[in-house]
Structure 1
Amino acid sequence: MKKNLSTLSLSLSLGGALLLCTTGVQAQSSVQLMGLTDVYVGSMKNAGDAGRSAVVGSGGMTTSWFGVKGTEDLGGGLKANFALTSFIKVDSGIQGRFANDTFFSRDANVGLSGGFGSVTVGRGLAPNFLPSILSNPLGDSFTFAPVILHMNVPLFNGTGWGSTTPSDTGWANEIIYSTPNFGGLSANLHYQFGEIAGDSGKKNVGINALYFNGPITLTGFYERDQMSNPAVPSTYLGTTKTDWMLGGAYDFTVVKAFASYGQAKADNTTNKAKTTQLGVSVPVGATGKVLASWAQTTLSATDISRKTFTVGYDHFLSKRTDLYVMAMADRITNQAKGSSVGVGVRHRF
């Protein structure tokens, strides 16, 4: 009997120790369910559209998404990180940004971070994304931000107007090295494997740099792309495309000014797409701001250009929820004029 009691006591002690160890490990780890929902009601007409559409749309100011992200402290300043996040159309409940978008097209990666910076492997951001959203006042709006529309949203209305970004805002099968922060300056190096059997030379490579110092934001990127995204399996673009941009912002307190300039070109043509963007964000009280942005993209081999201007108001009800109203004018040479207006709500969780 004493032996049994001793055994039970030892088992309870070991169990308690294991429980404490498990609790300690959990205290060093975190997994978060997070995301953003954005829905708007609008009357939409892009340049060249035959008619106007009344819509309930998703992602007026930010593309709606959800997913999980996590980190584990491995000790000695080293951490393991992962992210699995998916885009969703909140107006309809359909997964993805468009037909055949991969499920975790926003993020699907794992990596390590520490004093050396970080290394991430899987699907993640392309070099163009952060510089483009940081240097315009409407951020990552794929519905109303003029420079984002020109860079990333092709028109399928017979105008033949395509996006200037060669290969999406996210890359699959990539390795990203992010440097530590050096006095406000950091950089990200991107390498995407083509994964084409018998042709290991096809790939996407790129770099971006970010600088923050008080009221100053400076950024830029360069890409050399041969692979499409988010195609599964990987698909060769048929040529090599390059894309670069320089941009920044300065906060004068009473107004924040934004500007960017970039070019895109393919090896199989002499035509260049040259894009200029100017914008402002003006605070209104403690919870609102007026936003305005103008972008022009000119094709060097023709007299064709696209000009888009958006003005609107964004009002925060809390740190996580805001209401917005946006109006946009869109023009392409020799095409029907477009104009759009939308009112929406955005919530982060």
Structure 2
Amino acid sequence: MKNTFIALAAALACSGAAYAQSNVQLTGLVDMYAGSLKAPAGERTSAVGSGGMTTSWWGLKGTEDLGGGLKADFNLTAFFRADTGDMTRGIPSDTFFSRDANVGLSGSFGRVGLGRDKAPNFLPTILSNPFGDSFVVSPLVLHANVPNFAAGWTNAQTTTGTDTGWSNQIIYSTPSFGGLKANVHYQFGEQTAQGKRGKKNVGANVLYGAGPLSLVAFYERVQIAKPTGIDVQDTKTDWMVGGNYNFNVVKLYGTYGQAKIKAQTLPVDVKNTTYSLGLDVPVTTAGTIKAAAAHTKSEVGAAEGKRTTFTVGYDHFLSKRTDVYGAVMYDRIKWTESKSGTSVVAGIRHRF
């Protein structure tokens, strides 16, 4: 009997050690704002919205230590709208786990991941502007990803080729070399229809951060808009370089990039050129004043349009996980005629 208890205790000890090497975390972020919104060519709307500074999301993340420096990880995270409870970003046909749905292996070689994950454009864009990944008030994010059809600013005028996340992809991430890291992306098109086979998305980004200096760059060649269906688009190439430098009294941001579409189904070629500037000014130990501007020149054949957006705001952290913010944005689109709009928002963001 004594030997039985010893064996059972040893087994439980081994089980506990194995369990300690694995973890699963429930994590996410809730961001809500109230404000008065007016987009160019749109009507003014007073609303309570979700995702003023960061799109609200939740999900499960986990890692397992496989020994010998090798680890397995998974990410299953979903966007949601906290104002309505909808489990989407507000994009038609958005999948449930549209933020992340991937599994990977990592070690001294870096990481190899499979599934839905960030597109090459995402990290460089949010790291090189003071409003991060705000799809409501960040000038650079709006110019890169958000069209305004009412004012004539369509998907062809945005900088990125498709979504900020890609499905059906393989990602290889290098280890960090003195603050320098790269990610290589290959998205399978998975098309079977004649004339659509072999279509795919490829891209890469490079991130550098050491001391006060951060530098970023990305390149994409996009042919697939929605890999879940037969949705092949004209080939769009886009690239951007950017970065920021922290002087302590002020943090400066800047980017420059171009996007081109070679006409196939479109009647003419398209070329978009975007640059942006921004700054963070600490005014207290917990609060910063933020300002940013982005300008895009779009050439569609012989036609030319311009979009200019300015935002000024303030972000104050109440704790490491909770902050409150306010921002005023002016957005102007000049296409066949000039249209503009001004929006004012105030909100709260909580991480868990």
Check whether TM > 0.5: yes
Point out the structure with max Rg over C-alpha.
Answer: 1
Verify the 8 A CA contact 1:192 1:203 in the aligned structure 2.
yes
Partner of 1:314: 315
Match of 1:208 in 2: 205
Report the CA distance between 1:100 and its aligned residue: 1.9
> What's the offset of the Cα at 1:234?
5.5
Residues 14-29 of structure 1 correspond to what in structure 2 (within 5 A)? 14-29=7-22
- Which of the residues 54, 62, 70 maps onto 1:70? 62
Contact 1:48 1:159 in 2 (8 A): no
Corresponding residue for 2:80?
88
Structure 1 partner of 2:270: 271
Distance 1:271 1:30 in 2: 48
Residues 111 and 118 of structure 1 are in contact (CA less than 8 Å); yes or no, is this contact kept in structure 2?
A: yes
Residues 60-119 of structure 1: per-residue CA shift (max 9 Å, x gap): 000000001000111111000100000000111100112321000000000000100000
Give the one of 246, 270, 287 matched to 1:251: 246
Q: Match for 1:85: what amino acid? A: T
Task: Indicate the SS of the match to 1:165.
Answer: coil
Aligned length: 339
For residue 180 of structure 1, what is the amino acid of its counterpart?
P
2:145 — aligned with what? 152
Q: Percent of aligned positions with the same letter in both sequences?
A: 56
Quote how far apart the aligned CAs of 1:47 are: 1.2
**Contact 1:46/1:338 (8 A) holds in 2:** yes
Task: Provide the rounded CA distance (Å) in 2 between the counterparts of 1:55 and 1:15.
Answer: 61
CA contact (8 A) 1:88 1:96 kept: yes
2:80 is paired with a residue whose SS is: strand
Other-structure match for 2:340: 337
Aligned to 1:52: 44
Q: String of CA shifts for 1:175-234, please: whole Å, max 9, x gaps.
A: 0000010111000000000111265411100000000111101001000001114x5235
CA separation in 1, counterparts of 2:169 and 2:54?
A: 24
Name 2:287's counterpart in structure 1. Answer: 288
Distance 1:42 1:124 in 2: 31
2:216 aligns with: 219
Relative to 1, partners in 2 of residues 1:197 and 1:18: Cα closer, same or farther, differing over 3 Å? Answer: farther
Q: How does 1:119-138 map to 2 (within 5 A)?
A: 119-138=112-131
1:235 to 213, 218, 231: 231
The offset of 1:24, in angstroms, is 0.6
Question: What is the RMSD computed on CA atoms of the aligned residues?
Answer: 1.4
What's the offset of the Cα at 1:17? 2.6
Give, in whole Å, the separation in 1 of the partners of 2:62 and 2:4: 33
Give me the whole-angstrom Cα distance separating, in 2, the residues matched to 1:42 and 1:295: 22
Q: Residue 252 of structure 2 aligns to which amino acid in structure 1?
A: A
TM-score (norm 1): 0.94
Give 1:155 deviation, angstroms.
Answer: 1.8
Question: Within 1, Cα distance between the matches of 2:304 and 2:198?
Answer: 36
- Identify which range, 84-93 or 294-303, moves more after superposition: 294-303
Structure 2: tracts of 5 or more residues without a match: none
Paired with 2:173 and 2:159, the residues of 1 have a C-alpha distance of 25
Q: What is the deviation of 1:158?
A: 4.9
Deviation at 1:156, TM superposition (A): 3.7
Q: Which amino acid aligns with 1:336?
A: K
TM-score (norm: length of structure 2): 0.93
Q: Is the 8 A contact 2:151 2:333 kept in 1?
A: no
Contact 1:280–1:291 (Cα < 8 Å) also in 2? yes
Amino acid at match of 1:209: V
- Measured after TM superposition, the shift of residue 260 of structure 1 is 0.2
Which residue of structure 2 aligns with residue 3 of structure 1?
A: none
Match of 1:23, SS? helix
2:180 counterpart residue number: 185
Q: CA deviation at 1:14?
A: 3.7
Moved segments of 4+, more than 4 Å: none
Specify the SS of the correspondent of 2:166: strand
CA distance in 2: counterparts of 1:193 and 1:54, whole angstroms: 42
Higher mean C-alpha displacement, 13-22 vs 149-158: 13-22
Check whether the contact 1:159–1:335 (CA below 8 A) recurs between aligned residues: no
Partner AA of 2:53 in structure 1? M
Counterpart of 1:95 in 2: which secondary structure?
coil
Amino acid at match of 1:22: S
1:115 corresponds in structure 2 to 108
Deviates more, 1:96-105 or 1:311-320: 96-105
